[in-house]
Amino acid sequence: MPITKIPYPINLTPGVPSSSLQFGSFGSKGIKGGGGLIRDHHGRWVEGFCRAIGWANSLHAELWAVRDGLSLCIQLQLPDVEIELDAKSVVDLLNSSSASIADYAPLVDDCRILMNRIPRWKLKHCFREANACAEQLARMALHLQQPFVLLDTPLVEVSSLLLYDLTGLGCNRFCTNSGPWAM
């Protein structure tokens, strides 16, 4: 029996009730980059970053990006942060109260410690389509001349994606009809 795919709407609604922190990782054949951005409660750019991670797997790269972003939130003294990741495995790992997987324990422990230094935070999964700005920053990290770059203003490559998000438009993600979103 063929798999039927149905459209699932992905809303890119601006105006989250807190600062929003989005992360992404990108790379192939073991070479990874990470990136992220912080937005204000209107969805506007506050700060962004890119990190050339080097040889790593996707989980390590996502955790590095989370660690960098949380450190940046603490430096900016943000009291209320909504953390969005398109890597559900990382969200589940960080939300879990159980011990970390040994290979990832130092990064997971760092992330948990940093999250607890932020007065109010919420960690949630988002679909990749709603995380395009962070993904673009992670792609750009693969071409950095230095290991870490802090961005006070959005780069040209990210500006159009940021504008698209600010309009509140959505897109469809085609999913199999067996997921929790199936009707």
Instruction: Answer yes or no: is 3 within a domain.
Output: no
Please report the pLDDT score of residue 11 as a whole number. 41
Instruction: Answer yes or no: is 141 within a domain.
Output: yes
The residue among 122, 36, 35, 129 whose CA lies nearest residue 81 is 122
Asked whether the predicted pLDDT for residue 167 surpasses 50, the reply is yes
Residue 85: phi, psi to the nearest 5?
Answer: -130, 145
Neighbours of 73 (CB within 10 A): 25
Share of the chain above pLDDT 90, in %: 30
**CA 64, 70, 74 angle in degrees (round to 5)?**
145
CATH number at residue 45: 3.30.420.10
Instruction: Answer yes or no: is 181 within a domain.
Output: no
DSSP string covering 13-72:
----SSEEEEEEEEEETTEEEEEEEEE-TTS-EEEEEEEEEEE--HHHHHHHHHHHHHHH
Instruction: Answer yes or no: is 128 within a domain.
Output: yes
pLDDT band at 67 (very low <50, low <70, confident <90, very high): very high
pTM, rounded to two decimals: 0.79
Instruction: Answer yes or no: is 120 within a domain.
Output: yes
Instruction: Answer yes or no: is 174 within a domain.
Output: no
Q: Do the beta carbons of residue 148 and residue 51 sit within 8 Å?
A: yes
pLDDT band at 16 (very low <50, low <70, confident <90, very high): very low
Instruction: Answer yes or no: is 80 within a domain.
Output: yes
Per-residue pLDDT tens for 99-147?
667 888 999 999 999 999 999 999 988 877 777 888 888 888 888 888 9
Please report the pLDDT score of residue 86 as a whole number. 84
Instruction: Answer yes or no: is 1 within a domain.
Output: no
Find the domain containing 89 and state its range: 17-169
Q: How many domains does the chain have?
A: 1
